Amino acid sequence: MKVHSKLLTLSLIELVLVLVYGVIAAIALGSNHHFFIPELFAPQVGFACFLLLVPITGLIAVGQGSSEYAFWHALFSASGIAVSATAAILAAYGTAIGKSLQEYYLEYSNREGYWDTWESYDQWIIAAPVVCMVCAIAITIILPFSYFTVVNGSNKYSINSGNVAET
């Protein structure tokens, strides 16, 4: 598989994962603050915004055939590993808290009326941090592949011409 095809594939996968992760974190942040602690979900949204740089630079590198953007993609992939690992740990902590908050929520008999929630809200309380955790772990796993695609393929770049295509 050529470097630019592999970079395109990885960037598209990363884009989907980051968008799912960011949207779920943003929806959770906007949900009932009693069950979705802003101190847990606001950083998740911030992490997702930073991690969005990885697929964007990858797609620009492929679209423009730019080795410069490819190396920016590698830089953001390398730093994104630390960010996504931190996000995964925070989401795991949120999952543990979410389980306790779900049990607390279920103690109320008229919970939908009392908390102004819907019928299956107890599932959302645990699902949101779990989805964030799974996406963050998947991103942490895929980012090294993205990084090494560029770094190991660097001898295939024609840096002087600014072309991502293999020489």
Q: Within a domain: residue 46?
A: yes
The residue-averaged pLDDT of 52-56 equals 96
Q: How far apart are CA 92 and CA 133, in angstroms?
A: 6
Which amino acid is present at 152?
A: N
Q: Within a domain: residue 131?
A: yes
Q: Within a domain: residue 48?
A: yes
Q: Within a domain: residue 72?
A: yes
Tokens (6 digits) for 142: 């895929």
Q: How far apart are CA 18 and CA 136, in angstroms?
A: 8
* pLDDT of res. 73: 93
Instruction: Give the residue numbers spanning the domain of 144.
Output: 3-154
* pLDDT of res. 159: 46
The pTM assigned to this predicted structure is 0.85
Q: How far apart are CA 152 and CA 31, in angstroms?
A: 43
The number of angstroms, rounded, from the C-alpha of 38 to the middle of its chain's C-alpha atoms is 18
Chain position carrying tokens 């980051």: 18
Q: Within a domain: residue 162?
A: no
Least confident residue range of 36-40, 113-117, 147-151: 113-117
CB contact set of 52 (below 8 Å; sequence gap of 6+): 15, 18, 19, 22
* Domain total of the chain: 1
* pLDDT of res. 72: 94
pLDDT surpasses 70 at 83? yes
Distances (CA, A) of 162 to 8, 47, 78, 167: 17, 30, 22, 11
